[in-house]
Amino acid sequence: MTTMTAALAAAMKLACAIAAGTVLLASGARADWKAPWKDETRALVIDAYEFNPIDWEKMTGDDRIAGFINKASDGLPPDWRCGKLTGDDEKLCKNRWWKYEVTKELYMTRRAMAKMKGLLWGAYHLGRPGNPREQADHFIDFAEPGPDELIALDIEDNTSEWMSLADAEIFADQIKIRTGRYPVLYTNGSTAQFVSDNAETYPLLSRLPLWYARYRDDITGKFPTETWPSYALWQFSSMHNCNARSCPYRVAGAKTDIDVNVSPLTVAELRQEWPFRELLPRRDAVDPGALIASVSDGAKQAVAEVVQVAETEQPAPVAAEPGGSLVAAYGPTEAEAPRIDPLELLTAAAHEKPPASIEAAKVAALDARDPTATGSVRADNGANAAAKQATAAFHAIEPAIFAQSYAAALKGLALAATQVPLLARGESAVPAHPQRETSLQPRSRLSEILAAKGDALADVQGPAAPADILSEARAVFGQSRGGRILRAGAPSRGTLTAELEAADARVSDAFAATR
């Protein structure tokens, strides 16, 4: 079966979606811009600070009130030490501590009361100038928010009196570090518009759910929909527009200075969305549903033509040549120089045999000449072609190059062996593997190299060995730790050779373990 290209597959999906009449639009309630609080199906949320008196019995008699958000922390935490201060400074310091303790106790009491009454709970931090990460930590330590509780950063205005927008980005990041989620952003209309106009400068703030403060009945054309499709909450009533004579919404059990917020959702829907944990999508993200919904009849016809042309121009499958699968996967062997693995060469030197890649090439070459040489049975001509390629790869390696690399590896081992005496102590050595009778076995090439350099090694004045290496040597050779430096001529040649053979066994095992 012919495989469709990615372009054809995309065109087919789009055509099927159009033919089926599928329109994928973003879910969620539509935000009303004109006095949505007059709709009795919309949920309301109260927010307060420590000086707002609350009659919980009367307030919770309003079924539209679904949540309560309380002020938690304000700016940086108070100074923890007042003992070094005197006079008015000491009194002010103690007063701040008193206010902090009373405010937190009131906060905890209100949270318990709200939850007992079945309300959703939230907390906000009033952002001030100062270290934003310390403020974020102060907020979390004060509010101790649960996973179902809303957390918000209050930026009253974009002026020097309040936390800067740049610091607000850092604050939000620290909240994410501490809690695993980002806060909601509370701010007024002008600051929200500024963030929207500079979304590239404030990529995090512009994606936080927006708690919008605007005290007017109609915000049509004024809400920054280019960044926020809707508000999470709209604070529409406060001491600024509510008094004894007129008020957008009067809350039973509270004074006119209480803040009231409307949600674009019903009470049940708000309970599902709370506490607004998710960031908004990026502004440059394309909504595929919106694209499908806006497709015209002409575009539909164009898609159909693309599908038809793509089907007629599908390339015919090319018949595979016998043995061509290896060439198709890796390309011709002549196009790339053979690669030599230094670790493979070192392993080969330790084990006295050529690298595995060379052995594989030889076996493949032998199999090509005599299929029964290794007991293998060729099922098709493709294997013969692969063997020919292996043969070509083997002959492509210049003997001089291999010999040079092999010799370099041996020189590297010999150089490393000059450090082996640093691990040896005493006149006799216990082999690393007692079960091995090294004297009864033929010496490896590595042993011969090391033995041949015994005289030179005996005169080596080695540098100080690290303590961990000396400790390991003590465990291996069963000798005392001794000095940190090996003195010239300390071990005899016979002792040194025996110790080197034991080290050789360890090196060989280490090489084997790496394969």
Q: Which domains, and CATH codes, for the chain?
A: 6-23+288-312 (no CATH), 36-80+102-273 (3.20.20.80), 321-408 (no CATH), 418-515 (no CATH)
Name residue, tokens 């929200």: 192
Parallel, antiparallel or unpaired: strands 120-126 and 65-74: parallel
59: confidence class by pLDDT, cuts 50, 70, 90: very high
Total length of the chain = 515
- Taking residues 371-377, report their average pLDDT: 44
Q: What is the 3-state secondary structure (H, E, C) of 45-74?
A: EEEECCCCCCCHHHHCCCCCEEEEEEEEEE
Check if the beta carbon of residue 45 is closer than 8 Å to that of residue 66: yes
Please name the helix (run of DSSP H) or strand (run of DSSP E) that holds residue 387, with its range, or none.
Answer: helix 381-396
Residue 260 has pLDDT above 70, yes or no: yes
Higher pLDDT, 59 or 315: 59
Check if the beta carbon of residue 325 is closer than 8 Å to that of residue 382: yes
Check if the beta carbon of residue 502 is closer than 8 Å to that of residue 443: no
Residue 34 has pLDDT above 60, yes or no: yes
Higher pLDDT, 321 or 203: 203
Name residue, tokens 């082999």: 431
Best CA proximity match to 462, nearest among 493, 424, 500: 424
Parallel, antiparallel or unpaired: strands 233-237 and 184-188: unpaired
Higher pLDDT, 12 or 110: 110
Please name the helix (run of DSSP H) or strand (run of DSSP E) that holds residue 350, with its range, or none.
Answer: helix 342-351
Output 506-509 pairs: Cβ under 8 A, ≥24 positions apart.
506/432, 506/476, 507/350, 507/413, 507/446, 508/350, 508/351, 508/444, 508/446, 509/432, 509/433
- Taking residues 280-291, report their average pLDDT: 67
Residue 457 has pLDDT above 50, yes or no: no
- Ordered alpha helix ranges (H), 82-235: 87-116, 132-143, 165-179, 189-197
DSSP code of residue 479 = -
- Sequence-distant (6+) residues with CB within 8 A of 210 are 184, 185, 187, 192, 228, 231, 232
Average pLDDT of the chain, as a whole number: 72
Share of the chain above pLDDT 90, in %: 44
Tens of pLDDT, residue by residue over 15-29, are 444 443 333 333 344
- Sequence-distant (6+) residues with CB within 8 A of 128 are 74, 75, 76, 135, 162, 163
**Per-residue pLDDT at 350:** 55
Tens of pLDDT, residue by residue over 474-498, are 444 444 433 333 444 444 445 555 5
Q: Which of 69-78, 180-189, 278-287, 431-440 has the lowest mean pLDDT?
A: 431-440
415: confidence class by pLDDT, cuts 50, 70, 90: low
Please give the structure tokens belonging to residue 218.
Answer: 């109609």
Residue 272 has pLDDT above 90, yes or no: yes
Q: Which of 100-109, 367-376, 378-387, 438-447 has the highest mean pLDDT?
A: 100-109
Residue 435 has pLDDT above 90, yes or no: no
- Taking residues 1-8, report their average pLDDT: 45
Q: What are the phi and psi torsion angles at 275 (to 5°)?
A: -105, 35
Residue 448 has pLDDT above 80, yes or no: no
Distance between CA atoms of 141 and 93, rounded to whole angstroms? 20
294: confidence class by pLDDT, cuts 50, 70, 90: low
